[in-house]
Amino acid sequence: MSNKIYTVESNDGMTIFNDAEALGMELRDILLREVDGLWEEEAYHWNICGDEYQVEPKYAFACMLYETLTKNYQKNNQLRNIAHCYDLTPLQLPLFTTNGYWDWRDMQGMKDCHARLDEMVAFRDEFVNRIKTRLPSNGFTYKNSGYNHRTGDEWVRTVTVKVVDLDKEFFNAPKVKINQTTAARVEEEHWAHYNSKEGKAERKAAAERQREISMTMMENGWHNMSMDDDGTVRIW
């Protein structure tokens, strides 16, 4: 029997697993959601480039998925490393783009790419299935980044999986439960706070505040209320 545990570190904290199904649930929620360009419903937004399309819309899903998967050929690519950790050989695909981009003057590349869609979807499904049902042979890191369109601030989310051999390495993780997903931990923490003395006091204070607001609105004949992100209430 393997004496290994698998740690998952993300912006939400750390979780520890020794069960493939539980680890798969965690990675489904916090890793696969970070990988852009895997699912058909993403194709429309991927294809929009200003007021133009990158490719003919009927080819968008295939071309988007192709770009996601062909990044596996780049040195030190994150998806390639993950596939390797799950003993999955990257899909061999030819070059469909002209000079590194999709050329509307020669749509043969789009058509040829679309002809390989079933093959690419099958590979994607196997990639996702292995992550959800198997234990990785090695650790890996996946980093995603972007910008908040409202504030302009850059954001970075990182998921790091480590394989720890307990026969060789000393490991101590207090207050962390084995095979508890982030979602389950957050829910447990929520209810623990909800039922705590502090949680009850907060709910009581919130109820009293709401009664005061309602009374003020009724006395003044006001019917509208809004609340800012910082909790500031405006009534009129």
What pLDDT shows up at residue 55? 95
What pLDDT shows up at residue 2? 63
What pLDDT shows up at residue 211? 84
pLDDT score of 201 more than 90:
no
Query: What are the tens digits of pLDDT across the range 130-178?
Result: 999 999 999 999 988 888 777 888 889 899 999 988 767 654 444 556 7
Query: What are the tens digits of pLDDT across the range 55-101?
Result: 999 999 999 999 998 864 444 578 888 999 999 998 888 989 877 78
Q: Which residue has the higher pLDDT, 1 or 235?
A: 235
Give every CB contact of residue 46 below 8 A, 6+ residues apart in sequence.
Answer: 36, 37, 54, 60, 64
What pLDDT shows up at residue 204? 84
Q: Please give the structure tokens belonging to residue 29.
A: 């929620």
Q: Which CA distances in Å does 141 have to 16, 31, 195?
A: 16, 10, 36
Average pLDDT of the chain is 85
Q: Which residues pair with 7 in a beta bridge?
A: 16, 162
